[in-house]
Amino acid sequence: MSGATGPSLQLRDDGRLRHLLTLAGLPRANLVELLDAAAVLRGDAAGRAALRGTLAGRTVCTLFFEPSTRTRSSFQLAAMRLGADAVNFDFALSSAKKGETALDTMRNLEAMGVDCFVVRHSDNGMVARLAAAARPGTAFVNAGDGQSSHPTQGLLDMLTLRAHKGADFSALRVLIVGDVRHSRVARSDLQALRALGAGEIRVCAPAPLLPGESELQGCRVFDSFDAAIEGVDAVLMLRLQRERMEEGLVPSLEQYFADYGLDARRLERAAPDAIVMHPGPMNRGVEIDDDVADGPQSVILDQVANGVAVRMAVLRAVLAE
Amino acid sequence: MSGATGPSLQLRDDGRLRHLLTLAGLPRANLVELLDAAAVLRGDAAGRAALRGTLAGRTVCTLFFEPSTRTRSSFQLAAMRLGADAVNFDFALSSAKKGETALDTMRNLEAMGVDCFVVRHSDNGMVARLAAAARPGTAFVNAGDGQSSHPTQGLLDMLTLRAHKGADFSALRVLIVGDVRHSRVARSDLQALRALGAGEIRVCAPAPLLPGESELQGCRVFDSFDAAIEGVDAVLMLRLQRERMEEGLVPSLEQYFADYGLDARRLERAAPDAIVMHPGPMNRGVEIDDDVADGPQSVILDQVANGVAVRMAVLRAVLAE
Amino acid sequence: MSGATGPSLQLRDDGRLRHLLTLAGLPRANLVELLDAAAVLRGDAAGRAALRGTLAGRTVCTLFFEPSTRTRSSFQLAAMRLGADAVNFDFALSSAKKGETALDTMRNLEAMGVDCFVVRHSDNGMVARLAAAARPGTAFVNAGDGQSSHPTQGLLDMLTLRAHKGADFSALRVLIVGDVRHSRVARSDLQALRALGAGEIRVCAPAPLLPGESELQGCRVFDSFDAAIEGVDAVLMLRLQRERMEEGLVPSLEQYFADYGLDARRLERAAPDAIVMHPGPMNRGVEIDDDVADGPQSVILDQVANGVAVRMAVLRAVLAE
């Protein structure tokens, strides 16, 4: 495996996308191009129908070393709607049990003619390592690796912000709330918000759930949710993994909800037209209240719909000849 | 969620089928229309081939909260043969573990562009509740909910009866045998037989496996299988769940077979051209003997073939623009 | 079920392939025809693309009673690339739990319109038994049964040998190393090598892992790997199941590797252009060293690619009208 890291590995010599491994270091032009393409796909049913043959004869393999039926379904639908052969490799049921390495599994599927792998893995950097070990023509899309990166989630969040708040992010105040420290979603969001020049990025979390200072460069950090939410245009809630409680990082789910849960009362402090986002699956009553999750300011299902459009755009880009 | 129940929810304003949630209260005209369409599909290979593009670009999602590979395969094949994108959401491997509700799972998949959900759930009425909570354009097909309804099984049983015994049900004597009390298949069959005007409906079960009297309206109820089967034109055997024995509702599988199992000797009491049906999977030696299951009067595999045709007809109906 | 065994069952009256159950007794002409067809498919991307409609409207069902995601994926890709509807029936999640027999499961899927079953089962001869019990028009491909047969692996190994060493096998010295006794791969390879007239077949294994003498007819048997490998043109390594150690057939994995593992030093004794094959998944460090597995003489990934081509050729043959 070469020592190339995600950012340098993921662009072709002519600057077009070869893989999508991370939003860190991804040139703004690539990012905006993906968002533009996804926005067109999202809005135009006739245009989408015209794309059904785009990837005919190409094979897209979802290779998930961590279970996630939602993200996998979203990628599979994106691949099918572009006419690709979509195959799923369920690692839990596979030769993993027989001691085969992730690398051998990937190389075997590649030899079967997989053109693009959509990979989720619990290890930081594993998707980039697989990409570096593959043949030149094989494309990789990171569907979440460890706690480091979930680039299509970052993109779909930006597409959602843009659709509701306009393409000029310079006046936008965005708040990210919750377990930022362990969240690959938050990392990809922060990278994308910086790349698009968001006016103000706020982060709110209890101290044990904050990442290191270097990751919070340019962010305003809050301990109090009530103070943090004041006047923001968008609130990005993160999922609280229940294991944080077992690890002693959170005292109790009740206390967490009281301090860092979003309910209608708190949302009133935001801008009147503020939108509420969540990457799903939601822990209702833990980080978000039903009233907000299902309320008029929630764009959570809009994020899901944007996810398919973003993934179609990404697959088209990395599989472009 | 609205308080609409299955029967009122499942028809469009113009009387066409919006969802298929239950056969209870389904107008006879809708029922016959589905059977007619399925009969054509079943018999006409060339006609079937011409339908492959019918649902191109539409997405059908099998969303099974209870495992059932057979029914799911039947629906998937029906969807594929109409050209739909068929995706399966395996709830056992999904965010269910992460605490997401069935409703949130459905809404997420709906946001990804699912046009029709085929749902199985262990709770009575859950499919109707999901349908009531969905967007106006999203169709639902009940693939079995709790003990209340399994409408496509009811339809395929009627199609099988009609194919072998003719469209006039008024002279038909039909016997249902077994665990009627806990059977969604039996409930859907009884509703359909009544709607189609079956001449005589007989029910035979040990007392602990009989439903309440209101459900047996118009039926002749027998305790003795030998008496019940006398002269009937069709015997619909039900599967005995082994848990009935653990619950003490059935003394032993051997005793059950002696009293309520169908063997060749018993079948001789039926009309000479009587047919034998079973929804599968069979417990050979518990409710049915090999000689009968594989004998000349068995139409059990014919039921399975009719199942695909019925499901194609249902998917076409609920997805019709 | 008829008493017909694989060899007599698998040919149609005109000599063409009806099923592919075993390479034992398969006429050389059929074998070569499959290899020729696969070789064309492998080499010709444009030709492959032209085949996408070949099996449109036909249904291929992978019915695996033993888990194997790799072989299953290979068959699924083969089916999809010929335009067939590819469905997978996961027996582990199915009515097996409800006590249904393999035969009833097959017959149900057959009634749903499956045209070809690709079956893996832990019992020797089970695929042939299912084939004998099916309707005349339904095709079966053995994807591995018990320890007796894995014919598509045998074919893909021959295709790989032929591609690297030429179609004349008479001058070829081939060595099979490892757990021949329990290996369906080895059995199919031996049958194919004999049918194609391999010049010399060597077998090397510790005594407890050697099959009976009747199976080694015409083979030179070695206990010492160093002696066996001398001058051979191809080394076919077999996977060592870890359970062999628990059964006491192998003292330790370390000792096994020392005696029967292939490393670069040993490979030097083979012909300079010898190729190294392995059916996968590899136990690196048990039967094969990284240096060899990933080295220039390894054609292991080429085997995998040939596997898809062979399976396309087999599906086309058994589904030919």
Q: pLDDT (tens digit, 9 = 90+) per residue, C233-247? A: 999 999 998 888 788
When the pLDDT of each residue in chain B is averaged and rounded to a whole number, the result is: 93
Banded pLDDT at B99 (limits 50, 70, 90): low
Q: What is the pLDDT of residue A94?
A: 59
CB contact under 8 A, B284 and C108: no
Banded pLDDT at B248 (limits 50, 70, 90): confident
CB contact under 8 A, C305 and A108: no
Q: Where are the domains of chain C?
A: 6-149+306-319, 151-304
Q: What is the pLDDT of residue C53?
A: 86
Banded pLDDT at B59 (limits 50, 70, 90): very high
C contact set with A (CB within 8 A): 49, 52, 67, 69-70, 73-74, 76-77, 80-81, 92, 242, 280-284, 301-302, 304-305, 307-308
C277-300 mean pLDDT: 96
CB contact under 8 A, C77 and A57: no
Chain B contacts of A80, Cβ < 8 Å? Answer: 85, 87
Residue of B nearest to A307 (CA): B112
Task: Looking at the complex, report in whole angstroms how far the Cα of residue B113 sits from the nearest Cα belonging to chain A.
Answer: 7
User: Token pair of B276, please?
Assistant: 């034998």
Q: pLDDT (tens digit, 9 = 90+) per residue, B187-215? A: 999 999 999 999 999 999 999 999 999 99
Banded pLDDT at C50 (limits 50, 70, 90): confident
Task: Looking at the complex, report in whole angstroms how far the Cα of residue B70 sits from the nearest Cα belonging to chain C.
Answer: 7
Residue C160 pLDDT > 60: yes
Question: Which residues of chain A have a pLDDT value below 70?
Answer: 1-7, 92-99
Q: pLDDT (tens digit, 9 = 90+) per residue, A240-299? A: 988 887 888 898 999 999 999 999 999 999 999 999 999 999 999 999 999 999 999 999
Banded pLDDT at B286 (limits 50, 70, 90): very high
C156-170 mean pLDDT: 97
Question: Which class is B6-149+305-318 in CATH?
Answer: alpha beta
CATH topology for the A6-149+306-319 domain: Rossmann fold (3.40.50)
Q: Reduce the DSSP state of residue A211 to 3 states and report it.
A: coil
Question: Is-contact C304 C74, C-beta < 8 A?
Answer: yes
C154-182 mean pLDDT: 97
Chain A contacts of C81, Cβ < 8 Å? Answer: 85, 113
Q: What is the pLDDT of residue A3?
A: 41
Is domain B151-301 in CATH 3.40.50.1370, yes or no?
yes
Cβ-proximal residues to A103 (8 Å cutoff; 6+ apart), any chain:
A129, A130, A133
Q: What is the pLDDT of residue B94?
A: 59
Cis amide linkage into residue B281, ω under 30° from 0 = yes
Q: What is the pLDDT of residue A196?
A: 97
- The CA-atom distances, in angstroms, between B238 and each of B203, B235, B295 are 11, 10, 17
When the pLDDT of each residue in chain C is averaged and rounded to a whole number, the result is: 93
Residue of A nearest to C85 (CA): A85
User: Token pair of B136, please?
Assistant: 């106006």
Assigned architecture for domain C151-304: 3-Layer(aba) Sandwich (3.40)
Residue of A nearest to B114 (CA): A77
Three state DSSP letters for chain B: CCCCCHHHHCECCCCCECCECCCCCCCHHHHHHHHHHHHHHHHCHHHHHHCCCCCCCCEEEEEECCCCHHHHHHHHHHHHHCCCEEEEEEHHHCHHHHCCCHHHHHHHHHHCCCCEEEEEECCCCHHHHHHHHCCCCCEEEEEEECCCECHHHHHHHHHHHHHHHCCCHHHCEEEEECCHHHCHHHHHHHHHHHHCCCCEEEEECCHHHCCCHHHHCCEEEECCHHHHCCCCCEEEECCCCCHHHHCCCCCCHHHHHHHHCECHHHHCCCCCCCEEECCCCCCECCCECHHHHCCCCECHHHHHHHHHHHHHHHHHHHCCC
Strand order in the sheet with B139-145: B85-90, B59-64, B116-121, B139-145
For residue C100, the Cα-to-chain-centroid distance in whole angstroms is 28
Q: pLDDT (tens digit, 9 = 90+) per residue, C180-218? A: 999 999 999 999 999 999 999 999 999 999 999 999 999
Q: What is the pLDDT of residue B50?
A: 81
Task: Looking at the complex, report in whole angstroms how far the Cα of residue A82 sits from the nearest Cα belonging to chain C.
Answer: 15
Chain B contacts of C101, Cβ < 8 Å? Answer: 284
What is the Cα gyration radius of chain A?
19
Alpha-carbon span C134 to C132, nearest angstrom: 6
Q: What is the pLDDT of residue B96?
A: 55
Cβ-proximal residues to C238 (8 Å cutoff; 6+ apart), any chain:
C176, C177, C178, C179, C180, C183, C185, C186, C278, C279, C287
Alpha-carbon span C316 to C34, nearest angstrom: 10
B113-126 mean pLDDT: 96
Please give the backbone phi and psi of residue C255, each rounded to the nearest 5 degrees, phi first. Answer: -65, -40
Residue B39 pLDDT > 90: yes
Banded pLDDT at B47 (limits 50, 70, 90): confident
Q: What is the pLDDT of residue A97?
A: 53
Task: Looking at the complex, report in whole angstroms how far the Cα of residue C68 sits from the nearest Cα belonging to chain B.
Answer: 18
